[in-house]
Amino acid sequence: MTPPTPPAPTPGLLSQACVLLACYWLAWQGSALFEIRPDVSALYLSAGLTTAAGMIGGWRALPLACIAICLVRLPDLPVVSLATLDLAGALRQVAVYGAAGLYLRRRWQRAAFRFSLKDALHFTVVALVASCMSAGLSLHIPPFDSLPQAELGGVFLSFWGGDLAGMLLLIPVIVMLQARLGPRRASFVRRWKEAFAERPGEASATALLVAAACFTLIVVTLPELGQAGPRLAILSVLPVLVASLLRGVLFGFVVALLTCVIELAPIALFELPVESVLDLQLRLIITTTTALLAGASHDDKLFEWRHANFDLLTGLANRHRFQDQIEHELMRARRHRHSMALLYIDLDGFKAVNDAYGHDAGDALLRQVAERLQTCVRETDTIARLGGDEFTIILPDLAHEGVVERIGHDVLRELMRPYALGSVTAHVSASIGLALHPRDGESATDLIRNADRAMYEAKRLGRNRMVRHASIALPVFTPRSDAPA
């Protein structure tokens, strides 16, 4: 039995406090870049940071967050004393946004790294409610509790828009960084590569990013024609919508970040009136919300399609997809009068590995089998897992039968190589049945049945070999060395 892996050491309290203090200092400096008047900024990143602290660190991180919020403001105070510390503001932020983070924590911990539409809606609503509550409480805390009645609406909207934009922009970034560095790294890296992969017939990710940047620059820098300028800037959401619908939430959010950076850059360089800053906050909110909702909707549809057509363990086509594909290839073969072949593969000795080392080791072996099979076939071939340790390969458009023999030989050779399963090494081989269209069957049912029979004949003859259905008693070939059955 493999000894249990010791848990990874957790960072100490002092190191956590230092990291949190550094993050709040950066958030405070970032908010200061977009300050339009004392204590009023176009973007409050600390709201998102406090929510993320509650999500990731739990309630234990909130006292540290409160202390960090107070400490980062010390250099801006004329006289440092307990009376001058903004304790009320820090407690308000931790109480509202820390509670929002704790509320989101359970869902975030439970889910795999897949931001569904339900998760996106849930997160957006929580952020909206929390920012409204925080902005309302801010009006009852000095110095804003003494403002004239006429100014309360503008201050409320500034706080609400800045906090909500900060949450929607910063929390997904922190969650992605946490997934990239934590136990969900493999899932995150795989989805990241899928989002940015080159796709036949589609514009590349780089081209989409450049197009989005150029479009946003044009929209943002258009000269104001009366009151039309601020209204035209909302068109910057269009490239975000297109990117999210085409490539999902990860790529869509990257485009949203790029768009927001282009829109925010002038704020750090030029002083804008309050009305323009409020318009900017709304554009940031709409841009990020569009990326999250539209991208999550795309990912949900892609997940449902994959779940219906592909095996979740190996990523290969499942039985349903295999049935559709073999019918499609048979139609093409009849139309163009081409030959096609079906290989029916069953692993030899898989049950013994599963019994000896457990189901996790068996699943790891099946994933390795899927990877090895993909190295043996052509791009036009289809590999499917029918269930358990049974696989099939559809070989369309055969110019000659030598292609089948080469692929069959490669499959036998690859599958009999040792499998590294953690601290143990396993050995299996494969028995393969071969049926050719049209000689061994005109229909999908006939081909599957005859390939299955040939596979059982390969088992009877000693395993680790491929057998044709047409010459059921004569194996085509046997590899040079035998693997354990």
Residue pLDDT, tens place only, 274-300: 556 778 888 899 999 999 999 999 999
What the block records as the tokens of 443 is 């229909």
Identify the H or E element spanning 163: helix 149-181
Which string of DSSP letters, residue by residue, matches 275-306? Answer: HHHHHHHHHHHHHHHHHHHHHHHHHHHHHHHH
Rounded (10°) CA dihedral 63, 68, 70, 75: 170
Find the distance separating the first CA and the last CA of the chain, reported in whole Å: 23
Q: Which residue has the higher pLDDT, 401 or 347?
A: 347
pLDDT at 228: 54
How far apart CA 115 and CA 124 sit, in angstroms, is: 12
Return the minimum-mean-pLDDT range out of 37-46, 101-110, 407-416, 452-461.
37-46
Residue pLDDT, tens place only, 151-170: 778 778 888 998 999 999 99
What residues act catalytically? 389
User: What is the biggest distance separating any 2 CA atoms in the chain, rounded to whole angstroms?
Assistant: 97
pTM equals 0.78
* Residue found by looking up tokens 């055969």 in the block: 398
Instruction: Choose which CATH entry (3.30.70.270, 3.10.20.740, 3.40.718.10, 2.60.40.10) describes domain 319-477.
Output: 3.30.70.270
Residue 420, helix vs strand vs coil = strand
pLDDT at 157: 86
Write down the domain spans for the chain.
Answer: 13-309, 319-477
| Closest CA relative to residue 418, chosen from 429, 427, 430, 407 | 427
Q: What percent of the chain has pLDDT over 70?
A: 86
Residue pLDDT, tens place only, 225-262: 445 555 677 888 999 999 999 999 999 999 999 999 88
How far apart CA 53 and CA 65 sit, in angstroms, is: 7
Residue 140 pLDDT grade (very low, low, confident, very high; cuts 50, 70, 90): confident
Is residue 68's pLDDT more than 80?
yes
93, with CB counted inside 10 A (0-12, 13-18, 19+), is: buried
CA distances from 292 to 128, 213, 240, 242 (A): 14, 19, 10, 12
Return the minimum-mean-pLDDT range out of 125-139, 143-157, 166-180, 362-376.
143-157
